[in-house]
Structure 1
Amino acid sequence: MLKMLLLFLIGAAVSIDLIAGQACQPRSANPGRACKKACTHDAQCRGRLKTCQCDNVCGMSCFNPNLACNDPGPFPNGQISPERGYGQVIRYTCNVGYNLRFGNNRTCQSNKQWSGVQPRCDREYWHFFIILFYMGEDL
């Protein structure tokens, strides 16, 4: 009886995404974005392409897993990996002489938006300070 009760308590706190075989956190009270319809199984999802899947902070939700996010926009002085599908991660890198700000990756979410904020590449100015310092020093 104790084992069954323990399993019930654990099951109430965490859903299992049977397709992926991974635990899915419960829907956050304030996920910071619009969430799709909550679900526990595919029969609750309307639309032939929608399935019940784990959607990060939104928990188990109905959505089309074949969706793609839009182009994340220009990324001056750097490169972005080409991934665009749901759950895929794009990686940002900067050209030589630039530093990456605001993270190096973003994930395509079920609302077709990229997680986080758009990173940017800022010029490394410290090189110029070192050069000026040595130029002003008597040898």
Structure 2
Amino acid sequence: MQDIKFKVFYEPSGKIHDVLAIDFIKKNVTIEYKKGKTQVVCMEFCKIMQYTGMSDHNGNEIYSGHIVKFEPSLPYSIDECMIKNGEIGIIKFSEGKFIVSIVKSDVLFFNLDTIGDWVVIGNIYATPDLLE
């Protein structure tokens, strides 16, 4: 069974924080802002990122909103579309599954678990410049 975990990009700090609790009624999130230190913050200032249940080759957990780079160990060809080494994608949740949406294409995307050679290089909130 997949772990259900979240992180948030907290806009006032400009950083990613682990989530300890989400209160949808009070609209706040309890985050760990320093090791062992927690803070309750307003959900309005948080971008919630859900854990995909997968990690990259470096052991980094992959969350929605992460920017990933394709670093294949072997060439891949899926549905006659070739993904090139260095291709950049965004992790999204769509139609009940996590996908990698390729930045240079409006149409091209892959199930995250189909091709596992993605490495986390940033996220769409703190490092959007990686998408350029």
| TM value normalised by structure 1 | 0.27
Please state which structure has a larger fraction of its residues in helix.
1
Flag the structure with more relative contact order, 1 or 2, with Cα contacts below 8 A and sequence separation at least 6: 2
| TM value normalised by structure 2 | 0.28
